Amino acid sequence: MTSNKNLYFLPGDGIGKEVMDEVRTIVNWLGKHGSLTFDMTEGLIGGAAYDAHGSALSDETLADAMDADAVLLGAVGGPKWDDVARQHRPEAGLLRIRKEMDLFANLRPAVVFDALAEGSSLKFDLVSGLDILIVRELTSGVYFGEPRGIETLADGTRRAIDTQLYTSPEIERVARVAFELARKRNNQVHSVEKSNVMETGVLWRSVVSELHTAEYSDIKLLHMLADNCAMQLVRTPKQFDVIVTDNLFGDLLSDCAAMLTGSLGMLPSASLGGVDDAGRRMALYEPVHGSAPDIAGQGIANPLACILSFAMCLRYSFDMGKEADMMEQAVQNVLASGLRTGDIMQDGKTQVSTTGMGQAVISELDKLNG
């Protein structure tokens, strides 16, 4: 058994706490049966942190997160904090931790589990077996570019400005993540931009091409315009392996790809930063869904997105691909056995609670572990 890794839990608000409890059970299972044990510590973020000390993310919590080997986050937000000033809103905590940890690469897999393929808005044949990874640049682009704002001109007209801005190192580092991940998958990267109408798109295409020629010529690189990519995602999604794109297009395209899979309760994500001198990469893992105030406290939330986020953590932070595969296989088996939480319920299947789903994953892990 190798030395302990420190997992820092930030359950957050609403169903964040409920789904995170199931992850904790799985971490404990892995500690007993796997090759690595984990120390679990916990902090407050979002509304829970605001209630405790008037800020959605305290400096102490941020420091603990930066010290951890990986951070697992549930979800933040809820109507309770709707009237809180913008800078203290639960979502501000989330934006701050992503920015301070410089998590520039957001990984959103769109994987269709066979048992749920019927739930997709596309035909079964188009999505069955689908496995796409979208790598979205997360800390630059139009959401951060200056100048920005709304001004009133002398004649009373109001004018709004956003600035789309990228530097070559910002593009190169996220492209590098995409190429490295493609090497562990099917060796293909689509680089997506709007070089036909945007200068940032021209720079994006040229930086990605230069990096490809210099270091990744073993990977198949294809360039695609963002509007075409949106169309291709719903036309023939299986043509894609890894897609790398900027912050704005990534926001839209990853939501589009997510819906191919059928349910929000099934979607994990990872946000990765740079590698430090000791070889440690800043990383935060979280389900794509929010705090779901409409079902919070009822014990019916789907914990699988959070459990699959932990599988990504094993794969990307701890190089535990075998254990991550086992975790994903366990989820596959649970779904094949007909168990469902309410959000993915289908005729003839059996509905289980959040805890019931977590326990079912543990039972499958026991079986897979022999």
Q: Which residues bind ligand NAD (CB under 6 A)?
A: 15, 19, 75-78, 91, 94, 264-265, 286, 289-295, 301-302, 305, 341, 343
The single residue of 69, 241, 251, 343 carrying the catalytic annotation is 251
In the complex with ligand NAD, which residue's Cβ is closer, 75 or 211? 75
In the complex with ligand NAD, which residue's Cβ is closer, 34 or 265? 265
Q: How far is the CB of 266 from ligand NAD (least distance, A)?
A: 8
The single residue of 64, 131, 162, 255 carrying the catalytic annotation is 255
Q: Which two tokens stand for residue 146?
A: 């200056």
In the complex with ligand NAD, which residue's Cβ is closer, 78 or 141? 78
**What is the gyration radius of the CA atoms in the chain, in angstroms?**
21
In the complex with ligand NAD, which residue's Cβ is closer, 111 or 207? 111
Residue ranges in 83-158 assigned as alpha helix (H): 90-100, 124-127
Residue 249, C-beta contacts closer than 8 angstroms, at least 6 positions apart: 136, 192, 193, 194, 226, 229
Q: Which two tokens stand for residue 97?
A: 């931790």
In the complex with ligand NAD, which residue's Cβ is closer, 241 or 343? 343
Residue 80, C-beta contacts closer than 8 angstroms, at least 6 positions apart: 47
Are 151 and 158 a contacting pair, CB within 8 Å? yes
Q: How far is the CB of 290 from ligand NAD (least distance, A)?
A: 2
Instruction: Answer yes or no: 184 catalytic.
Output: no
Backbone φ and ψ for 281, nearest 5 degrees, come out as -105, 130
The single residue of 13, 166, 194, 216 carrying the catalytic annotation is 194
Q: How far is the CB of 192 from ligand NAD (least distance, A)?
A: 23
Instruction: Answer yes or no: 166 catalytic.
Output: no
With H, G, I as helix, E, B as strand and everything else as coil, classify residue 242: strand
Q: How far is the CB of 121 from ligand NAD (least distance, A)?
A: 15
3-state helix, strand, coil in the chain (%, to 5): 50, 20, 30
Q: How far is the CB of 269 from ligand NAD (least distance, A)?
A: 9
Closest to 43 (Cα-Cα) out of 71, 69, 5: 71
Closest to 173 (Cα-Cα) out of 271, 273, 77: 273
The single residue of 39, 143, 162, 238 carrying the catalytic annotation is 143
Instruction: Answer yes or no: 316 catalytic.
Output: no
Catalytic site residues? 143, 194, 227, 251, 255
